[in-house]
Amino acid sequence: MTVLCDLRSDTVTRPCAGMRAAMAAAEVGDDVYGEDPTVAHLEARLSEMLGKEAGLFLPSGSMSNLCALMALGGRGDAVITGKPYHVNAWEAGSASVLGGMMIVPLAPGPDAALEPEDVAAAIFEDDPHFARTRILSIENTVSGQAVSLARMDAAIAPARAAGLSVHLDGARLFNASVALGVEARELAARADTVSVCLSKGLGAPVGTVLVGPREVIHHARRARKLLGGAMRQAGVLAAAALWALDHVLPRLSDDHARATALAEGLSGLDIGAVRARTNMVHLRPHAQLGDLRGALAAKGILVGTPDPESRMVLHRDVDDQSLAAALTVFRNVSTGKPPVAMP
Ligand SMILES: Cc1ncc(COP(=O)(O)O)c(C=O)c1O
Q: Above 50 in pLDDT, residue 339?
A: no
Q: What does the alpha-carbon distance between residue 44 and residue 52 come to, in Å, rounded to a whole number? A: 9
296 alpha carbon to ligand 1 midpoint, in Å? Answer: 25
Mean pLDDT, residues 48-55 taken together? 98
CATH 3.40.640.10 fits 17-247, yes or no: yes
Q: What is the CB neighbour count within 10 angstroms for residue 183? A: 13
Report the C-alpha gap between 210 and 52 in whole angstroms: 10
* pLDDT at position 340 over 70: no
Strand order in the sheet with 208-212: 54-58, 208-212, 193-197, 165-169, 132-139, 77-82, 102-106
Ligand 1 center–CA 199 separation, angstroms: 9
Distance between Cα 161 and ligand 1 center (Å): 29
For residue 228, give the amino acid letter.
G
pLDDT tens per residue across span 210-253: 999 999 999 999 999 999 999 999 999 999 999 999 999 999 99
Ligand 1 atom index nearest CA of 11 = 14
Reported as a single tens digit per residue, the pLDDT across 80-127 is 999 999 999 999 999 999 999 999 999 999 999 999 999 999 999 999
What is the percentage of the chain residues whose pLDDT exceeds 70?
98
* Res 72 pLDDT > 90: yes
* pTM for the full predicted model: 0.96
User: Which of 9, 57, 65, 90 should be mutated for ligand 1, with most atoms under 8 A from CB?
Assistant: 90
**Cα(208)–Cα(199) distance, integer angstroms:** 7
Query: Atom 13 in ligand 1: which residue has the minimum CA distance?
Result: 61
Please determine, for residue 46, whether its predicted confidence score (pLDDT) is greater than 80: yes
DSSP 126: S
Ligand 1: distance of its center to the CA of 47 in Å?
A: 19
Mutate which of 197, 200, 315 for ligand 1 pocket (most atoms within 8 A of beta carbon): 197
Whether the domain at 17-247 and the domain at 251-335 fall into the same CATH topology: no
Closest-lying ligand 1 atom to the alpha carbon of residue 85 = 1
Neighbours of 257 (CB within 10 A): 14
Helix (H) or strand (E) holding 152: helix 149-161
Residue 27 pLDDT class (50, 70, 90 cuts): very high
**Residue pair 147/113 in contact by the 8 Å Cβ criterion:** yes
Q: Provide residues with CB under 6 Å of ligand 1.
A: 60-62, 65, 86, 139, 169, 171, 197, 199, 208
Domain boundaries, the chain: 17-247, 251-335
Query: Per residue in 287-328, pLDDT tens?
Result: 777 888 999 999 999 999 887 889 999 999 999 999 999 999
Which ligand 1 atom minimizes the distance to the CA of 141? 1
Instruction: Tell me how long the chain is.
Output: 343
* Cα(187) to centroid(ligand 1), Å: 18
What amino acid is encoded at 97 in this protein?
Answer: V
pLDDT digits over 158-200, tens only? 999 999 999 999 999 999 999 999 999 999 999 999 999 999 9
Task: Report in angstroms the alpha-carbon separations of 276 from 121, 167, 311.
Answer: 32, 26, 10
251-335 — its CATH code?
3.90.1150.10
Residues 6 or more apart whose CB falls under 8 angstroms from that of 188 comprise 50, 51, 52, 168, 170, 173, 194, 211
